[in-house]
Structures are given as structure tokens and as C-alpha cells.
Structure 1
Amino acid sequence: MKIRKLLILTVALSLIGGTAIFADSVAQKVKVIFNKQELDDAGALVDGKAYLGVRTVGDSMQAITVWDDSAKKVTIYKPNVHIFLMTGSKPFGEVQKGKTSFRVFSQIDNLQTDISAFKVTITDPYGDETWIDGRTSKDDDFPRSKDNFWFTGDNFTYDFKSVGRYTVRFWMKAADNTAMQIVSEKTIIAK
């Protein structure tokens, strides 16, 4: 009786292990490096072809990814978004630790989809994010031209408490999408 149970257990474990090995050989994970950074959502190698998640590719390109469920279609829009930062009348990319007042200027063109909102944030070296400015389609000063517009943020005072890299990001929300997506970023070095 014990031999029979042992034989059944051995066969069961062999089938489970064989299935796992087969599944692993069908779709192998692939490391994907974009601009010297490994992407979190690795690709898969199936039948000699590498497959990547569309959202991962869009996020890496700092593009807007839109899923159309009715057409079963994904569209990636890559607008040109240029950010520059001004303190007083001077552009800057480095600051001393402490409080600094500045404005964010953004020029957007080649926007090929409607958006319902955008925002600008700053993230400190530890990953804490702070909202700087933004607009929604309900605001009177929301840009109505989708292809080309300028945005000048309000004067903003921020405390650069630590030495390190701070990232200013410009986010957009597609009109038929629920999530804000990063479309541009600029780094400030605090010394």
C-alpha cells in the first residue's frame, strides 16, 4: 500500500514539474533595456520572437497609450513636450538647497489625440511627488487646440530640502482614458 502511494506521488510530482518546465520553455522571460534602464515589465520570448507590453513601451517613450476595447486596438501617441524652468527671468537646472520660486514653461506640439487634463509635478530624490500646476477641460484657460499649445504655470515656491536629483514631470490624460501618463520630464540638481 505504501509503495502504491509513493508511486502515485512520484508520478504526480513528475507531471507537475514537467508541465512547469514545458510552460517555461514555451514563453521565456526577456530582459528589456531602454536608455540604459531595465524595464520592470519584462518581455517574453515565444517561438523566437520577443513580445513586449504596449503600456511598458509607451511609458518608456513617455507617450500616451490608449486602448480602444470595441476595436481591440492600442494606439500610442507621442507628443513633443518641451519643459523649461525659470526663476525670475533666468532659466535654471541647478539650485542650492532651500526654498526657490520658479515657473514651469511648456511647449506642446504634435499632439494627435484629445486630452481632458494635464498636470505638472516635482518629485524629490526619495520619490515623494508634489503637484505644481495643472488644468482640466473644465477650466476656462484649458487649451482648446490639441495640436499645438503653450502652458505657463503659476509661480511656485518649493523647498529643495536635500541634495540630489529632482524631476519635474508633465503628465497628460487622454480624453477617453482614465490614467494620467508622463509625456516629458526635466531634472533639477540640488547642491
Structure 2
Amino acid sequence: MARFRRVAALTLAFFLVAGGAAIAGSRWGSYEGYSKVQVNANGTTINSAVPAIMMNGATMLPLRETATALNSFIKWDDGNQTANIYRPNVNMVVSQELDVDKKGAVTGVPKPFFKAPSGYNISFFVFVQMDSLKTTVDGFKISVLDPSGNELDKRVSSESIYDYLWSNAAFNIKFSEAGNYTVRFALKVDGEFVTVGEKLIVSE
């Protein structure tokens, strides 16, 4: 894993075609003689030890940090010197009720919601459907975070997953302050949890 981090940090392996030549004296400064550029993903700046730069008319991005910002993850194949990017298709629903059949399989989500009154405890389910995961991971986590990013509760599974997953978890959360609460779905990759899906609950 340490070797991968070094490679990910030192190797800028994401290319985006950019019109025009790199302009000397970028407003963001320079790195190793190349103009630095700022890259935002959904309004959030991507920061890394090695910055994004302009080289020969192309924008080169730090692969690991960019993948993380786009709810994707990297697996490094050291033998083939290859970085593999994986981005599963994830759908999440937050609902106060779930319909289940006699075998316990979820058949419907009759009371989905995305707003919660501040100051109240609310019980709800998080239903996760994932597919198109073309690699094996070592588990997953469903968690709820408060507006400051603190983890309020979580459900963790060590189930090995390949290709697809259907799962649900029950929570009882006190929405003690107004703001955006995050419901997060993460996969365990090389011993670390990486986020591949999020849903917001707005408390007001």
C-alpha cells in the first residue's frame, strides 16, 4: 500500500486535453518548471502533495486524489505497473419504511425522505443497490455523519463483494442541529474504506 501511495503521489497519470499551451507564471505558481492548475470536483478543490500541472497542452492530475473526489478508487497492479480505476454504479435510498417479501428481500421503499426536523430522533433505513464492480473488495460500511463530518453511527460488513450488492441498514439518529447530514456508503479496499456513494438528509 505504501508503494502504491508513493506511485500515486509521484506519478501524474490522468490526462485531460486542454486547449492552448501552458502559460508561464500561472496564478497558482509552478511545480518542477510546469504551471500549476487548480482542479475542482463538484465545487471542492482537489488537493494533493503533487499538484495538477500543465504539460505539453494537457492537464495532468494526481490520479488517486482525483478518483477519490469522483467516488472512484484505484487498485495498483505492481507486477504490470498498471493503475486500475473502478467506479461502481451505486444507488442509495433513505426511507422510514421498507417493504420486504417472505424471504426478507426488499421489494419497495414506500416512505423515502430527504428532510428531517431539527431536534428530533428519527428511525430510518438506508437501502443500497450496487452493481458493475469489476473487482473484489473486502467489505463495506454504511455510516451517518453530522453537518461537521463527525460519524454518528455506522454498520460494517466484512463480506467479500464482487460485481453487485443489495443491502440495507437501520438507524436511529438524533438530528440535534440544522444542516446537511451525510449518509455514506464505502467499500473496503486494501484495508481502507473508500467512499463510492453519498446521500444527504437536510435538517432544518
Band the TM-score falls in, shorter-chain normalisation = 0.7 to 0.9
Is the Cα contact below 8 Å between 1:119 and 1:131 reproduced in 2? no
- Give the Cα separation in 2 of the matches to 1:46 and 1:149: 41
Tell me what 1:30 maps to. 37
Tell me what 1:150 maps to. 166
Going from structure 1 to structure 2, the CA distance change for 1:24 and 1:75 (only over 3 Å counts) comes to closer
| Structure 2 runs not aligned, ≥5 long | 1-29, 98-109
Aligned: 1:162 with 2:177 = yes
Which structure carries more helix by proportion?
A: 1
- Give the Cα separation in 1 of the matches to 2:125 and 2:171: 6
- Give the Cα separation in 1 of the matches to 2:185 and 2:32: 41
Specify the SS of the correspondent of 1:90. coil
Amino acid at match of 1:156: F
Tell me what 1:92 maps to. 113
Over aligned residue pairs, what C-alpha RMSD do you find?
1.8
Normalising to structure 1: TM-score of the pair?
0.77
Identity over aligned pairs, percent: 29
| Structure 1 runs not aligned, ≥5 long | 1-22
Is the Cα contact below 8 Å between 2:143 and 2:184 reproduced in 1? yes
Output one character per residue of 1:131-164: Cα deviation in whole Å (capped at 9) or x when no partner.
Answer: 3212103xxxx65xx22221011x2111111000
- Give the Cα separation in 2 of the matches to 1:31 and 1:92: 36
Which structure carries more strand by proportion?
A: 2
RCO higher in structure (CA 8 A, sep ≥6)? 1
Tell me what 1:54 maps to. 63
Q: Tell me how far 1:188 sits from its aligned partner.
A: 0.5
Specify the SS of the correspondent of 2:144. strand
Q: Which runs of 4 or more aligned residues in structure 1 lie more than 4 Å from their structure 2 counterparts after TM superposition?
A: none
Instruction: Give aligned pairs, total.
Output: 160
Kindly report which structure 2 residues correspond to 1:134-149, keeping only aligned pairs within 5 A, or say none.
Answer: 134-137=156-159, 146-149=162-165
Q: Tell me how far 1:34 sits from its aligned partner.
A: 2.0
Aligned: 1:187 with 2:200 = yes
Is the Cα contact below 8 Å between 1:120 and 1:171 reproduced in 2? yes
Aligned: 1:124 with 2:131 = no
